[in-house]
Every structure is written in structure tokens, then in C-alpha cells.
Amino acid sequence: MRGDDIARELGVEKDDAREAFDGRIAAMTRDGQLMTNRKGQVCVVAKVDLVTGTVQGHPDGFGFLVPDDGGPDFFLPPKEMHKALHGDRATARQVGVDKRNRPEGVIVDVLERANREIVGRIYEDRGIWYLVAENKRISQDILVPPDMRGAAKPGQVVVAELIEQPSAHREAIARVLHVLGNYTDPGMEIEIALRKHDLPHVFSTAARRQAARLPDTVQKADRKGRADVTALPLVTIDGETARDFDDAVYCERAGKDFRLVVAIADVSHYVADGDPLDADSRDRGTSVYFPRRVIPMLPEALSNELCSLKAGVDRLCMACDMSITAKGEITGYRFYPAVMHSRARLTYNQVWSWLSQHRTHGDDGAAELLPHLRDLYALYKVLAAARARRGALDFETIELELKFDPHGKIESIVPVVRNEAHKLIEECMLAANVCAAGYLLQRKHAALFRVHEGPTPEKLTALKEFLAGSGLSLGGGEHPTPADYAKLLARIKDRPDFNLLQTVLLRSLQQAVYSPDNEGHFGLGYDAYTHFTSPIRRYPDLLIHRCIKACIAGERYRPSGASWAELGVRCSLTERRADDATRDVENWLKCYFMQDRIGELFTGTVSGVTHFGLFITLDGLNIDGLVHVTELGNDYFHFDAVHHKLSGERSGMIYRLADRITVKVARVDLDATKIDFVLAAADASAYRGAQKKQRPGSRP
């Protein structure tokens, strides 16, 4: 029926009612529930065999429509992808199946355009200017009229506004808004990542004004109703380059037991629900830590100053005051708002030097602080033992740090030495987070929990099949516990294939997310867990502070503008977005680093196996590259997904996940951030030797 006919049938006659009716029809059309056909009739999408979903582009030109209802993806050939860009919402109709037996669709209508601005490089070819998007999922070239390119020169990185979206018969057209600079300029990789991943990096005018109105110090009125713990020798312990200090700690003996105080910056005192700073914080979700640059969740006036627990000044905090037994059991805790005064800004290396060498090297104030730090270290040992008994997982991973030259390019990549001072602070934060989750559950207050579920049935089946091939088994039947994983890790730690087995175990677990439904934290072995300890840099922690304060006041906190479920999805997405952006930047920098190393030999580990080759992670650099299957030798290699291996049909050569291998750098594609390896001569010879051994009469 036509819209006018529907309105008449429903008796919608008054102007205000008709306006609301038209708005509802428009909203349902945007959501993909309704569509208007060529006769102007409103149709229910589900009745005309259409599927609504999100377009997901592929760098090779084709794409998929990912249905909203969770059904199978529709394959979209390049011709159909010419109608839309990655991220657009569209309706599609299935027209058959592709050669891989996947549903193949055609786009009927684009409901919502996801891309208003695009970052990319501008080029000129015989008088035609066009933009190549940095997001490789947008594979279409975008035309730029010569009079709309501004001052951009060929090859430069620009931000462009789409003034015409693509259609079946027309290219997208854009106008250059900003010229960011040349592709290899220092810091350009971060500028690109910010725009490619839509990371908010400029605070709103309202948020900046609100931050400017805040005082520089704790005011007398702020102290009202707060415990005064300024006499408590709390200290912060962080990395050398940290500037936003979320947490401070203090520990003392209580007979054989311990008292642990974890003081966390009280951001919620300055950032109220629904105000401009809150809106910007929710939009960002998290601070993003790039090499040499931070995009903070809060303006620096708060993150590095007023909220940061700097040494020698009073600061507002939320304290978690815990009683812990000599067996690591938390027997009591309380939360309260307080005013604190950090005694020192300490670093992990400094604290570990004091604790491990039992001397202070003449550091000022060390003599006063050392007894408390020793109590803290004794508590850490108790908590670590309790962690082991709980069966929490402890995967052995190596973190690396990028070192830069004065021009902002990688000079070297070095391992980060993680000492027991790092682990000490980690255990203190875990304890406070567990108490926060328990506190809110006891009071039946809605909140966002940090949820980490165990393996899905499909992943568990694949894991068990893989382990059986190595003569191993995972306990727990169909419902293994963290302790079952931990026992297996302990059993295999001395095996030569430990890295392989640990990698497979890790990949069997699901990603951690934020959710209002408490499903526990599998990896840490907790029945309930939340994030309370980093409100300067994580929005979920700020929400938890508001919940706890509401409970203390005998009230209930309900976030404005979104449900808890929506906030959980939002915070999980912003976390993934930040991870993707930082990974992009690091991968580009690593490719730049490897440009001058073409032809050099490196040893590494097989970190991924696919039907098209092996991904290799280089030792000591954490740099990934691909050995394509065509580089493995003149053989047919068959991919075994269950056992993570490629097997040569004639040679009998087998390449498995976590195998050790020597490779040579063959190519570096800076634009695509890809590195290609080939087998080193020794490994290639091993292949030929195996081939000869398999078939003595065959040609090498």
C-alpha cells in the first residue's frame, strides 16, 4: 500500500499525528524493515524475500552482505559492490549460489551510507584525479574533480568528503577537505589510523569548555563527606613513560594477614552522567595508546592533571580497603570516597630493584617506603599462590617495545622485561576488581561485567581432536574449567612443542567482552569480575564507579541515553576499534623497519597456517610475514585445519603451527602493510632432501 493509504486506513489525519506516522515509516525504512517499491508502495522487506544487513568489502573487489538476523552471508560480486561501500547498510536478494556454494546476492537498495569522509592517497592519471582509500575494504577508486582537489599533490594523504555515493552506473565523487601530508611523514601512520577507524581525536567544544572550568586542585567543598587518607603512604607504580596515574596502593601486615588499600582516581566526581565530558568519553570508550602518542579518553587537564594521582598533591579517589588472609582469601572489603596524597611516583624497574637487591641505591624516601613495599611483595606472593590454586590461566607471552630515532621511525625492537613489580600491581588490581563485582552483585545493582567465556562447543571439539593427535587430553569433559586448562599447561611446559600447544589452547578461548550479564571470567578463574581500576582511560570503569557511589548513597544509577546491554556492546566495540587501530600503526611501522632488510635471513615461528601458506613471526621482533604456498616447493600442499598443518602430497613435508623455520625477506609492501618471506636455502634444501627420500627416482 502507498503511505497515504496506510495513514488513511489507520485514521491518521491530524498534522502532528501524520508527522509522527511519517517519522515511524522513515525509521522502519532505515532499519531495513520496510522498503518502497517503484510504484511508491510500502512493502514489508521480509515479505518480498529481501535480507537486510551490513556490507563487508574485500580488498579484491568482491564483498558480502552480513545479515542482521544472523543468517548466512550473501556473496556480492564486484559488479554489486560497485553500488555500495564497506560498512553501508543495504537490502539484498539471493539470486543463486557462487562457485563455493555460498548464497549469492544482488543489492536492491542501500539504506544507510556509512562513509561521509574517507582518508586515502590522491593520484592523477592523464588528467583524471582519483582517491585510493587507506581502508583496503573500500576497493573502489573515488573520483576527485580537478577543481575539488584543493592543494593536494599526487601521492599525498588527504581527507576527502564524499559528495556523491557510488551507484550501479556511477563512481563515487569526493572533495578534498584536508591535506595531511606525504605518506612517509613522521606520525602520518597515526593520522591515517585515526580517520580510517573513525577514532574521535578532537574533543567537542562543550567538553573543552567544561574541562576549562574545572579547578587545578582539590577544593575544600570536594572534601566534604570523604575519608581523609592523606596520612596513608600510598604510592603509584607504573612504567617510566606513564603520565595518567589511575591507581595507588598501600599494604600493611595485620598479624599473619594483610590490609590492602587500592585507591583509584575519582573521575566520576568531575565527569557526571550526561554532561559534555561524559558524552565524549562514551564516544571514545577508551584511551588509545599509539607508539609515541596517546589519544586520551579525557582531556589532559583531567587525565594527566586533576584526576591523575600525582605524587605530592592531594587527589580525590575511590578506595577499596581489603582484608586478605595469609592464604590469599579476601575476607572483607569496603568502598568509600576519600582524599589521598601519593608519597611517590615509582616505576616497576625501580621497585623491583629495591625488592630484589634489598637496597635502595640512595633513592630519596626509599627507606620510609621500603617496609610497605616489602609487605606488598609478601602479599603478592600470597595472591599469586591463590591464583595458581584457583586455576587461573597464565599464558607465557613476550611483549616488545618499539624504539624510535629522532625522525620518528623504528630504530630497534626490544623485548619488554616484565618483572615481579608488574605482576604485583596486576594482582592488586585484580583483587579490587573482584571486590567491585562482588559488591554490586550483593546489592543487585545493574552494571557492566568483564565477561570471558570458555571455548564454544565447536572450538572445544577441534581442540580435543588436535590434542589427541599429540597424545594429550583436556580434562573437564564437555565443560572444561580454567583449572583443566592450567593443569594441561603445567603438564606440557617442558615439551619441545609447548609453543604450538599453548597457541592452540589460547586460540580455543573466546574474546573477553563487556556485558550486563555476569557469566564470569574464564581466563582468570573468577565467578564475577568487572573493571574498576582505570576510570581515566576506560569508560566501563567510570560506569562502575558511579554504580558503587550510588550503592553507598542507597540509590540506583541508570545511565542516560542507553541501556546496559547497549553500553556493553558499545564499550566492547570501542575496545576492538582501539586494538585494530594500534595494530595497524604498529604493522605499518614494522613494514617500514623491514624495508631496508630485504634479502636478510631471520629465524621465526609458524604462527598461522592457511590453505595459501604459512604466517611466520620473527624471533625478537614480533614481525609477521607470509611464506606463500607456492614458495614451499613444487608440490601440492593440502591444508589440515584441525591439525593446523600443510602437508606436501609427493614430498611428505609437513609444516605445522609453531614449527621453527628460517626465512629470507623477499618483498615489503608498505601500502598493503604486508611482508613476503621465502624459505631460506637450508629449509629449501630440507624440502628437496625430503622429496628425494620420498621418491628416490623422481626429479628434484
Specify the pLDDT at position 632: 93
- Determine which helix (DSSP H) or strand (DSSP E) holds 1, and give its type and residue range: none
Q: How confident is the model at residue 117 (pLDDT cuts 50, 70, 90)?
A: very high
Tell me the per-residue pLDDT of 473-529, one tens digit each, with 9 for 90 and over.
999 889 899 889 988 988 888 887 787 788 888 888 999 999 999 999 999 999 999
- Determine which helix (DSSP H) or strand (DSSP E) holds 189, and give its type and residue range: helix 188-196
d(CA 171, CA 169): 7
Q: Grid cell 563455493 — which residue?
A: 100
Question: Contact at 8 Å (CB) between 49 and 93?
Answer: yes
pLDDT at 696 over 70: no
d(CA 533, CA 147): 52
Amino acid symbol at 385: A
d(CA 691, CA 696): 8
If one looks up domain 117-183 in CATH, what number appears?
Answer: 2.40.50.700
Domain ranges of the chain: 1-48, 117-183, 205-450+520-582, 454-509, 598-694
Specify the pLDDT at position 690: 52
- pLDDT, average across residues 138-152: 94
pLDDT at 52 over 70: yes
pLDDT at 574 over 90: yes
> Three-class SS of residue 125?
strand
Higher-confidence position of 294 and 683: 294
CATH topology for 598-694 is OB fold (Dihydrolipoamide Acetyltransferase, E2P) (2.40.50)
C-alpha cell at 545: 564507579
Environment class of residue 686 by beta-carbon count within 10 Å: exposed (0-12), middle (13-18) or buried (19+)? Answer: middle
Question: Contact at 8 Å (CB) between 639 and 609?
Answer: yes
Question: Contact at 8 Å (CB) between 347 and 240?
Answer: yes
pLDDT at 318 over 90: yes
Mean pLDDT of the chain: 90
pLDDT at 348 over 90: yes
DSSP symbols for 623-682 = -EEEEEGGGS-SS-EEEETTTTEEEETTT--EEETT-EEEEEEEEEETTTTEEEEEE-HH
d(CA 411, CA 589): 10
Residues paired with 56 in a beta bridge = 64
Q: What percent of the chain has pLDDT over 90?
A: 66
**Could you count the other beta carbons within 10 Å of the beta carbon of residue 585?**
24
Tell me the per-residue pLDDT of 214-251, one tens digit each, with 9 for 90 and over.
999 999 999 999 999 999 999 999 998 888 999 999 99
Question: Contact at 8 Å (CB) between 344 and 237?
Answer: no
d(CA 319, CA 314): 14
> Three-class SS of residue 35?
strand
Tell me the per-residue pLDDT of 156-203, one tens digit each, with 9 for 90 and over.
999 999 999 999 889 999 999 999 999 988 889 999 999 999 999 999
Q: Quote the Cα angle for 160-56-458, to 5°.
A: 145
Query: CATH topology of 117-183 equal to that of 598-694?
Result: yes
Q: What percent of the chain has pLDDT over 70?
A: 96
d(CA 377, CA 368): 16
E runs forming strands in 287-405: 288-290, 293-295, 314-324, 330-341, 344-347, 400-404
